[in-house]
Amino acid sequence: MSRRDTITASSLPPAATASFPPGASAAVPAAPATADTARRSAEIEAELRRAPQSFRILTGDRPTGPLHLGHYFGTLQNRVRFQQLGADVLVLVADYQVITDRDAGPGLAADVLGLVADNLAAGLDPGRATVFAHSQVSALNQLMLPFLSLLSVAEVGRNPTVREEFSASAGGAMSALLFTYPVHQAADILACRANLVPVGKDQLPHVELTRAIARRFNQRYSPQREFFQLPDPLLGAVPLLLGLDGQKMSKSRGNTIPLAATEDATARLIKSAKTDLRRHISYEPASRPEVANLVLLAAMCQGRPPAAVAAEIGGGGAARLKAVVTEAVNEHLRPIRTRRRELAADRPYLQAVLRRGNERAAALAGDTLNSVRELMRMTY
Ligand code: TRP
């Protein structure tokens, strides 16, 4: 699917010609260098182990339905790891982001609480971590106004994710909220004064924009003392899992394994996975992506190197491989699924966890907004 192609020259604002706001030092780089970010991420990982208390980490998801294995291995497990290390972990349920590209349907509340349940089932401890929904944190949302004033329309329009989402809307009208959602995401991050944002590559431009906003706010309103710390992105060190068809894993492609799937449904899904014609199983991601992906999935569930998993299956072929993967996934997820079912049956508990998280986020964001108003001389 080539989404980029549908952008027309007239559909987006022209590139910036002058610095904005006047006097701003640097434009927002459209695509931060990933190699540098990867190197920096490795340094941060070391720092996280050395001084976890110096990190406040914000991650989040849109509540658009049940999470799948890609989310679990890509982000959920990492959140729990940061929590175990002793960092201050905040997990955002980005409910306002759902209305950027679709209407929030009648199932939104269930999706929001479902996301809370997914996080807790994966091991997030509500006694230590904070789970909140940004629609419930007024001060956070108000920060969007001064932040918007620090960016030009052209800069926001250059954000690659916004451009892609726009093309995905198939030429339909783009809402102004979709256009500005990276700015709202910056408000999420800066309201909480998070200094670390674990993201996938597609979200790097948003963190870059957040840093630009922080830098400009500091320059304009707090030149003597850095008010907003510039948050760092953290690129995941986890290998990327593909979908069961060997393509990018995504719910809309129907190639995922939902976390909450039954063991039988999991077996059926894995049975349908694409493999290749060579009987001998090996771990060669470049030349055998589908087989390698299944091997990797079993390896991640078992906490073993993929090559060892492949060697053990050897001449057993695709049928044996799929049996091993099914067993590994179901075994790894069994306690998580049990806990997920228990949590889903206790809606008042999930609501209480979210309410407590909302309160803490509101306290953080309220402090930030108060200071921002003072720095902007908006105290009367
Ligand atoms: N845009 C993110 C996603 O679609 C969700 C998100 C919203 C987020 N606000 C955030 C992630 C702040 C990290 C920090 O997955």
Kindly give the distance from the C-alpha atom of residue 96 to the centroid of ligand 1, in angstroms, as a whole number: 11
Kindly give the distance from the C-alpha atom of residue 97 to the centroid of ligand 1, in angstroms, as a whole number: 8
Check residue 240 and give its pLDDT: 84
Which among 64, 82, 92 is the best mutation to test ligand 1's pocket, defined by most ligand atoms within 8 Å of the CB? 92
pTM of the predicted structure, to 2 decimals: 0.89
Which ranges of 203-316 does DSSP label H, i.e. alpha helix?
204-221, 263-271, 289-302, 306-313
Check residue 36 and give its pLDDT: 86
Cβ neighbours, 10 Å, residue 33: 11
Residues of the chain under the 50 pLDDT cut = 1-18
Kindly give the distance from the C-alpha atom of residue 322 to the centroid of ligand 1, in angstroms, as a whole number: 33
Using an 8 Å Cβ cutoff, are 270 and 244 in contact?
A: yes
For residue 147, give both structure tokens. Answer: 């932040």
DSSP 3-state assignment of 327?
Answer: helix
DSSP 3-state assignment of 308?
Answer: helix
Reported as a single tens digit per residue, the pLDDT across 80-92 is 999 999 999 999 9
Pocket around ligand 1 at a 6 A CB cut-off: 58-62, 92, 94, 97, 185, 188-189, 197, 203
